[in-house]
């Protein structure tokens, strides 16, 4: 299975030109699954909810989703893309899985970062898996990385690959994703953007360094910080089904959930 | 609060000389809490359960525990030490918290590593906290590190410091503990041994590099791989009560346990 990422610099509010850039970059790529950054079409640094709502779209009625579907159909490709998702009076920071027949699944970010809380509604979709050509993928978005429960929940359900659209502004995530892939024995594609969103109300800078990590926490590739990068590599997703650490240890069979009850205690 | 570790090379089966080494090393140290390696008195590489049982002791009747208690009383110190704990017909790979009045608490390793499964019974004590001079400490042992649920469960209960006696044979743990301290905003003292246990049935080598990590995943100190090391540093445990990541993010308040139910599902 050929998986990859496209790290680029979306221009704030320029949905059409960002879409064109993506379509041009992915034209004729030899890949099965490409992960794009969080909020790849709209940009990130909204002045507030009003502006975010104005730029958000319903995926069912989005020309961008239609165009990406066409690309997927032509190239037998699946795409995961961060998307400002408008649904009735709600706005979610979402990741869409798009294939040859259109939208396959929407994940709505459950852990919003900083000012996102003033723009988006908290996600309401479960941490669930989707299938891409027989491979099980789980989606999470950016700041979800800091909560070990997210990768863990996806991996325990059988995820081979974690698709992780991001707009990272800090430097902690990339290193921690090595631990996530080690402790869960999964692949992860973290696609970050680079550049900055400079707006009248302030500037947000992004850290690039998109990466693909294999089980055992092995870094397969990490992009530079401030460069556009299209990277594709072939992996064997079945590697993620091997949870052994030693002859007598299995990362999942050795878990003792009867000792973990505080993790799911709701106040 | 002054916390530290003593990284040394226990000699297999030489309980008395290992104890002497510890007592000599900790004589007159200026510290409140010292963490020692896993199985610090017996060594690690047992030929099987029979040998482990022969070397194990009931802490209530152990001369070593009495001697360490005396040390704690003389120096107003608490010690966490890995201990082969015999209780009736059971044998546990345990960590003892010892203070001026003797044994305070016993944690029995819940995730046994490799051949330990042929020597020890799986731990049966909950992941719970103890107080040392008003600071809340949680104990875990070596391979527990790979299960994010362990640090998380201790931190969610309010641990300031994770005390982590270890006999690490791989190199993954030290890096991952930076992530554990970042995602949970806690301190962690990982005390490893160095050297090897060479026995007729085989040799096990240990990786040293004991370390203390602060909230935000900041490495305060890491020892060399194959050197004895006594390290003590002053920390402010209250730092671990600050779970903020940004003005609007709190690592614990932002958790959404209603999405994590798979973590505590028992088969």
pLDDT band at A266 (very low <50, low <70, confident <90, very high): confident
Q: Is the pTM of this model over 0.90?
A: yes
Q: Which tokens is A254 given?
A: 């050795």
Catalytic residue among A72, A85, A86, A109: A109
Q: How confident is the model at residue B257 (pLDDT cuts 50, 70, 90)?
A: very high
Position A153 scores a pLDDT of 98
Q: Does B124 have pLDDT greater than 80?
A: yes
% pLDDT > 90, chain A = 99
The DSSP call for residue A58 is: -
CB environment B70-85: b (16+ within 10 A), e (fewer): ebbeebebbbbbbbbb
Give backbone dihedrals phi and psi of A217, rounded to 5 degrees, phi first.
70, 25
- Catalytic residue list contains A38: yes
| A90-111 pLDDT, tens digit each | 999 999 999 999 999 999 999 9
ipTM of the complex: 0.96
DSSP string of B137-161, one letter each residue: EEE--GGGGG-HHHHHHHHHTT-SE
The pLDDT value given to residue A42: 98
Residue from B72, B119, B142, B173 carrying the catalytic annotation = B142
Q: How confident is the model at residue A267 (pLDDT cuts 50, 70, 90)?
A: low
Q: What is the pLDDT of residue A243?
A: 98
The DSSP output letter for B133 is T
pLDDT at A26: 98
Tell me: the pLDDT tens digits for A118-143? 999 999 999 999 999 999 999 999 99
Residue range A197-228, pLDDT digits in tens? 999 999 999 999 999 999 999 999 999 999 99
Instruction: For residue B182, list chain A residues with Cβ-Cβ distance below 8 A.
Output: 146, 172, 176
CATH architecture, range A2-263: 4-Layer Sandwich (3.60)
* Nearest by Cα to B253 from B125, B111, B156, B131: B156
pLDDT score of A170: 87
**Residue A171 CB coordination number (10 Å):** 10
CB-CB under 8 Å, A152 with B245: no
**What mean pLDDT is predicted for residues A152-181?**
97
Report the pLDDT averaged over residues A40-67: 98
Helix (H) or strand (E) holding A30: none
pLDDT tens, B130-170? 999 999 999 999 999 999 999 999 999 999 999 999 999 98
pLDDT tier, B112 (very low <50, low <70, confident <90, very high otherwise): very high
Confidence of residue B171 (pLDDT cuts 50, 70, 90): confident
Count of residues in chain B: 267
Q: For residues B174-190, give the mean pLDDT.
A: 98
- With pLDDT > 70 as the criterion, what percentage of chain A qualifies? 100
pLDDT band at B125 (very low <50, low <70, confident <90, very high): very high
Closest-CA distance, A146 to chain B, in angstroms, reads 6
Q: Is the pLDDT of residue B267 over 70?
A: no
Give the model's confidence band at A40: pLDDT under 50 very low, under 70 low, under 90 confident, else very high: very high
Nearest chain A residue to B254 by CA distance is A111
Do A148 and B152 lie within an 8 Å CB cutoff? Answer: yes
Sign of CA dihedral A74, A80, A81, A84: positive
pLDDT at A4 over 80: yes
Helix (H) or strand (E) holding B100: none
On average, the pLDDT of chain A sits at: 97
- Band of the pLDDT at A171, cuts 50, 70, 90? confident
Q: What is the pLDDT of residues A63-94, one digit of tens each?
A: 999 999 999 999 999 999 999 999 999 999 99
Residues of chain B contacting A251 with CB distance shorter than 8 Å: 146-147
Number of H helices, E strands in chain A: 5, 16
Chain B residues with beta carbon closer than 8 angstroms to that of A186:
none
Which pLDDT does position B212 carry in this prediction? Answer: 98
| CA–CA distance, B143 with B173 (Å, rounded to integer) | 8
Average predicted confidence (pLDDT) for chain B? 97
pLDDT digits 0-9 by tens, B4-15: 999 999 999 999
In the annotation, is A109 catalytic? yes
Cβ contact (<8 Å) for B258 and A246?
no
**In the numeric block, which tokens belong to residue B206?**
């240990």
Whether B194 has a pLDDT exceeding 90, the answer reads yes
């Amino acid at each position: 299975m050929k998986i990859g990422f496209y790290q680029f610099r979306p221009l704030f509010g320029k949905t059409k030109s960002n879409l064109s850039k993506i379509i041009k970059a992915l034209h004729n790529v030899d890949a099965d699954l490409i992960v794009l950054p969080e909020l790849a079409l709209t940009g990130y640094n909204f002045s507030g909810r009003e502006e975010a709502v104005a730029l958000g779209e319903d995926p069912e009625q989005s020309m961008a989703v239609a165009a990406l579907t066409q690309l997927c159909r032509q190239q037998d490709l699946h795409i995961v893309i961060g998307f400002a998702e408008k649904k009735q009076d709600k706005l979610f920071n979402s990741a869409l899985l798009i294939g040859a027949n259109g939208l396959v699944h929407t994940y709505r970010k459950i852990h919003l970062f900083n000012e996102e809380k003033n723009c988006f509604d908290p996600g309401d979709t479960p941490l669930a898996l989707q299938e891409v050509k027989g491979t099980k993928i789980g989606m999470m978005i950016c700041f979800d990385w800091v909560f070990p429960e997210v990768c863990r929940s996806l991996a325990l359900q059988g995820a081979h690959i974690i698709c992780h659209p991001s707009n990272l502004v800090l430097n902690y995530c990339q290193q921690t994703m090595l631990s996530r892939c080690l402790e869960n024995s999964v692949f992860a594609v973290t696609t970050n953007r680079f550049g900055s969103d400079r707006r009248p109300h302030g500037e947000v800078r992004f850290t690039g360094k998109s990466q693909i990590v294999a089980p055992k926490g092995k870094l397969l590739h990490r992009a530079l910080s401030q460069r556009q990068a299209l990277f594709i590599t072939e992996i064997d997703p079945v590697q993620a089904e091997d949870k052994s650490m030693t002859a007598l240890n299995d990362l999942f069979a050795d878990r003792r959930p009867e000792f973990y009850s505080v993790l799911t205690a709701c106040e």
